[in-house]
């Protein structure tokens, strides 16, 4: 991303398999980011449009950078796997580094250049305990007491994965919000419908908490892969087929590794007139 050359707020637009982001580098601008600004930027008609917004900042603990995330509705999120991958790729291209340490609310995450435009990020170990996801009460997270018996998983944000015979036939526009706001999830939840294609592949469609239907999501892909492995439906390394393309997920002893492509679409500057309209 460029230095702050003119009045306004510089930003970058990126996407991972159509899961798109606005990225603001707080190392280069001191302009405040508020929920009102996030919602205005998320408007695809009057703003820029995105699934999530990511803020880059310096890290006092020695990491290469620190990331914080916002959903399109102005709420904060502790994790965003695809945005982390996209920003890692841009930072590697800028610095020439092959590996990065990235601080998020999830903890310290490792990112690696895998070559051929592929970037991998370790999203950390999945959260399998009910209190960490979090759920409203103690229960077996591998079989939630909800119609369809989904799996609950925490990836720094909560996930609810339903296994279905045909993911394409689920009316996600109504199914997603019904479970995003289920009382079992006090902080709402991301919703995935997953169809097992084989021992090393699953088809996943996504409803993201605070955003809606998205073409892809790194943390959702990871959560669905973990859920499939816990159920014994697949191995721990799978190809996840999303509406926007494929991500590779590998649940290892050190965490869940997410690998895929990313695109830095353009850089821009929000005008002072746009920013003044939010006052």
Question: How high does pLDDT run on average in the chain?
Answer: 95
List, for residues 87-105, the tens digit of each pLDDT value.
999 999 999 999 999 999 9
Tell whether 140 is covered by a domain.
no
Claim to verify: residue 90 and residue 24 sit in the same structural domain: yes
Claim to verify: residue 219 and residue 270 sit in the same structural domain: no
* CA 130 – CA 12 distance, rounded (Å): 37
The pLDDT value recorded for residue 277 is 86
Claim to verify: residue 16 and residue 105 sit in the same structural domain: yes
Q: Which domain holds residue 166?
A: 151-253
Residue 187 in this model has a pLDDT that exceeds 60: yes
**The total number of structural domains that make up the chain:** 2
Claim to verify: residue 227 and residue 171 sit in the same structural domain: yes
Residue 158 in this model has a pLDDT that exceeds 50: yes
List, for residues 230-267, the tens digit of each pLDDT value.
999 999 999 999 999 999 999 999 999 999 999 999 99
Angle separating helix axes 81-95 and 218-230, nearest 10 degrees: 120
Claim to verify: residue 219 and residue 268 sit in the same structural domain: no
Claim to verify: residue 159 and residue 59 sit in the same structural domain: no
Q: What pTM was computed for the model?
A: 0.92
* CA 10 – CA 268 distance, rounded (Å): 6
Output the domain CATH number for residue 62: 3.10.310.10
Residue 110 in this model has a pLDDT that exceeds 50: yes
Residue 2 in this model has a pLDDT that exceeds 50: no
Residue 1 in this model has a pLDDT that exceeds 60: no
The pLDDT value recorded for residue 3 is 53
Mean pLDDT across the stretch 146-166? 97
Residue 279 in this model has a pLDDT that exceeds 70: no
């Amino acid at each position: 991303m460029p230095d702050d050359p003119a009045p306004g707020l510089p930003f970058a637009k990126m996407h991972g398999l159509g899961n798109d982001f606005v990225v603001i580098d707080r190392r280069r601008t001191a302009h405040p980011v508020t929920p009102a600004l996030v919602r205005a930027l998320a408007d695809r008609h009057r703003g820029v449009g995105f699934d999530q917004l990511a803020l880059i900042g310096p890290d006092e603990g020695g990491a290469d950078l620190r990331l914080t995330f916002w959903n399109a509705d102005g709420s904060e999120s502790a994790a965003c796997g695809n945005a982390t991958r996209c920003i890692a790729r841009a930072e590697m291209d800028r610095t020439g580094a092959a590996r990065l340490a990235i601080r998020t609310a999830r903890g310290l995450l490792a990112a690696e250049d895998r070559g051929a435009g592929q970037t991998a990020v370790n999203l950390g170990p999945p959260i399998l305990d009910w209190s960490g996801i979090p759920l409203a009460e103690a229960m077996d997270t591998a079989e939630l007491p909800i119609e369809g018996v989904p799996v609950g998983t925490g990836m720094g944000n909560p996930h609810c994965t339903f296994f279905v015979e045909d993911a394409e036939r689920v009316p996600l526009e109504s199914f997603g919000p019904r479970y995003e706001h289920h009382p079992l999830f006090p902080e709402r939840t991301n919703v995935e419908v997953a169809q097992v294609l084989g021992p090393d592949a699953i088809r996943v469609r996504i409803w993201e908490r605070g955003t809606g239907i998205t073409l892809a999501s790194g943390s959702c892909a990871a959560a669905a892969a973990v859920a499939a492995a816990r159920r014994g439906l697949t191995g721990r390394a799978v190809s996840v087929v999303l509406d926007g393309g494929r991500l590779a997920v590998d649940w290892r002893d050190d965490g869940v590794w997410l690998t895929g492509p990313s695109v830095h679409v353009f850089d821009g500057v929000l005008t002072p007139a746009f920013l003044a309209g939010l006052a």
